[in-house]
Every structure is written in C-alpha cells, then in structure tokens.
Amino acid sequence: MLNTEDIRKEFPILERTVYGKPLVYLDNAATTQKPQCVIDTLDRVYTTLNANVHRGVHRLSQEATEAMENARNTVRNFIGAEHSHEIIFTRGTTESINLVASSFGGTFLKSGDEVIVSSVEHHSNIVPWQLLRDRIGVVLRVIPLTSECSLDVAAYREMFNERTRLVSVAHVSNVLGVTNPVKEIIDIAHSHNVPVLVDGAQSAPHLKVDMKALDADFFAFSGHKVYAPTGIGVLYGKEKWLTAMQPYHGGGEMIKSVSFEKTTYNELPYKFEAGTPDYAGIIALGKALEWVTEKGIEDIAAHEQMLTLYTVEQLRKIEGMRIFGQPDGAAVSFLVGDIHPADMGTILDHLGIAVRTGHHCAQPLMDILGVPGTVRASFAAYNTKEEIDILVKGIERAARMFS
C-alpha cells in the first residue's frame, strides 16, 4: 500500500494554491509533477559534476559520464531489457517514434510496404508514419475499435499480408485509459515475422513493463510522464534491429571515424545519440526511476487503478455522464450532457482542479467517438480519493450551472 500522505510531502508543487484553492492536479497523463529528489538531482549535477560526457579525460567529465551510464543501466533494469546498449536516450516518446520511422523506415521500408497502427494512437504515432508515406510511399493500416472501444484483435489478425513490415501501437490509450492487449498483438505480429513498436508513454509510468516478457522490438517512453524532467526520453530497441538500422541524426559521438570520403559509425547505443545529450536530464531520469522502484511500481499501479475505479463509480452517479471506454489504467475521459469540454475545464480550473480537455492529440479517435473532445482526469502516485471527491463536486457544480 502506498503512503500517499508521505508521498505528497515529497512534491513541493502540491503545496501551492490555484485561485486561492489547494491545487488538485489531475493532468498526469500530460506530465507528472517532480519529487524533491529529482529536483535536487538536477541541482546536484549543475553544482557538483557538470562537464560534457564521453569526451574528457578530466575528472568531472568522467564522473558525469559514469552517472549518465548508471542511469542507462537503471532504465535497462526498469524495463527489463537484456542489454544497456539497447537503451537509446531521446527527447521523449515523440522523438523515439520518429527515430524508428526514420531509421527503420529508411533501412527496411519500400513503396507499398505496410505499417499497422491503431485507432487510439496519439498524433506522435500517426504523423511520423505519414511523413514516411510521403517520403517513401508506405501504406498506413489502422486497427479498428470494437463497439466497446477496445482494439478489434480479430480484425487485426486479418490485416497481415506479405507487405506488412511493422506494427506500432500504444500500450495504454492516453484518452481512454484502456490497456491494449499488446502481448497478443506482438505474438500475432511475430507469427508473421513482423516487428512491433510499443508506445509506452502511458504505460511505463503506470504498470510494470518487462521487455523480456513482452518481447517488443521497440519500446518508447517519456521521462516527464514518470516523475523525471522534461526533454528526456527513451527508445528501447532489440540489438538486432538497432545494429541493422541506419543512424537517425549525424554528428559528434555517433561516429568511430570521419573523413570527407567516409564515416564509420560508433557502436550501440552511441550510434543513435549524436551530439551532447541531456546528461543532466538523463541522470535525473535515473533518479526518478529509482524513486518509482523504491515506492514500488506495482503498488503505484494498484493505487492508480483504485482511483480510476473510484472515479468511474462516482462519475456514473452524475446525470448525463458519458464515460468513454472501460478505463483500467490511470485516466478517465468523459463528457457531461452537452457541456463543452473547454467550459467544464475552465470551471474546474477555477476550483483549483487541473484536468486536460480537448482532443488529447488523438483527433482520429475523437472522430471515431464522434465528439470534438473530452474531459480527462489522469492520476499519479500522489493523488487521493479526497481529490476525486473534489473533482466530482466540481463537475456537479458545472452541471448545475449549465442545466
């Protein structure tokens, strides 16, 4: 069991007020708040060991490099990857997916080849493939939804043919808070020798992921959604793919030797990490993942699922309530009557409650649901049932104002 009272004390921002009301922060799917130990780590890097990594023989550079590579190992353990050189640091999920689209696409895909995505994807798992469609002529196929708003696995099974080259799906929908059956999706793809990229932006913070058990070929997630700073993220890739793929960016650190005639690339993971990395962010990401591990990802998941169930139960009592999908994770999307999501969001904001409203960067899903947007409450380790009660009261108040 999580001790939320103690956990809350570790997050300085939770002490602030908004419009004179205590902050109720329920926009964790967009980004989580940061515990003091992560803030302190950033501070410590700049006050005690700042130096560019992998370059200097001097002491500071060695210490910074060691701290960064320790963080890579922490990430490896966190997601159960076999090798730390399979962990590539990127700016976030978006860049990780763009990396695969560009490098895997550039290496393996030809005009007419097919990439399968799903109906619930975030724009960052749609647009990179469309860029590739414009560049190479790949064909995008979309797994439909069942009437229960879950991925239609039977339809997915039928989508494979000799031109299918890659499947790229969200582990957990950022809109519906529903966990997709990714293990089944991966097993089906592998039975056709097709690799799978899992967008773990909404799963890594909320459930135990294990690359060996999942057998994903690629897995992407963002640090800032898992209590780490902004601007740092991860791409896990199986060694066999990363070795075969062409680099993404060219520049320093990703090379072994350069002449004007010929360049040979560095070994993994550096081949994919051109330029000075955000080593301060990486070291702080390591700290954030240690923090999650110390609290227990399973306990965090159980706490968030309890909050989700409680939210659904309370929301269902409100007249005109429409909840989208059957959330089992850490987010709930809803609409009340014909109240516009932006109006609901504004009223809640004035009560100190931060929720996300709109299309959540998933416009195709909004089109499928036939709504312009939704209101989404999303949870983290520090949220409480009392905060859900405040949310529910706020929604009831809005409903009264619009009735």
Q: Give me the residues that bind ligand 7TS (CB under 6 A), please.
A: 29-30, 92-94, 122, 124-125, 170, 174, 199, 201-202, 222, 356, 360-361
Neighbour-count burial for 31-62, b at 16+ CB within 10 Å, e otherwise: bbbbbebbbebbebbeeebebebbeeeeeebe
- Between residues 51 and 140, which has the closer beta carbon with respect to ligand 7TS? 140
Q: Give the nearer residue to ligand 7TS in terms of CB position, either 234 or 297.
A: 234
Nearer to ligand 7TS, 32 or 174 (CB): 174
Instruction: State the nearest-atom distance from the C-beta of 281 to ligand 7TS, in Å.
Output: 12
Question: How many Cα atoms within 13 Å fall on the side-chain side of residue 357?
Answer: 17
Q: How far apart are CA 268 and CA 5, in angstroms?
A: 42
Nearer Cβ to ligand 7TS, position 284 or 361?
361
CB of 9 to ligand 7TS, least distance (A): 26
**What order of strands is seen across the sheet that includes strand 114-118?**
87-90, 233-237, 218-222, 196-199, 164-170, 114-118, 139-143
Where does 175-303 show beta strands of DSSP type E?
196-199, 218-222, 233-237, 255-258, 263-265
What is the nearest approach in angstroms of ligand 7TS to the Cβ of residue 308? Answer: 15
CB-nearer residue toward ligand 7TS: 54 or 128 = 128
Among the options 361, 365, 391, 395, which is catalytic?
361
Comparing CB distances to ligand 7TS, the nearer of 160 and 227 is 227
Is the bond preceding residue 269 a cis peptide, omega within 30 degrees? yes
Radius of gyration for the alpha carbons in the chain, expressed in angstroms and rounded: 22
Question: Which residue, judged by CB position, is nearest to ligand 7TS in the bound state?
Answer: 174
Report, in Å, the least distance between residue 257 CB and ligand 7TS. 33
Measure the CA–CA gap between 37 and 116, rounded to whole angstroms: 40
114 is written with which tokens? 């097919």
**Shortest spacing between CB 104 and ligand 7TS, in angstroms:** 17
Closest distance of CB 197 from ligand 7TS, Å: 11
With CA atoms as reference, report the closest residue to 252 among 270, 235, 268, 228: 270
Enter the tokens of residue 308: 């989700």
Q: Does 361 participate in catalysis according to the annotation?
A: yes
Instruction: To the nearest 10°, report the CA torsion of 66, 69, 74, 77.
Output: -130
- Taking CA atoms, 281 is separated from 25, 51, 224, 399, in Å, by 23, 13, 10, 42
Residues identified as active-site: 361
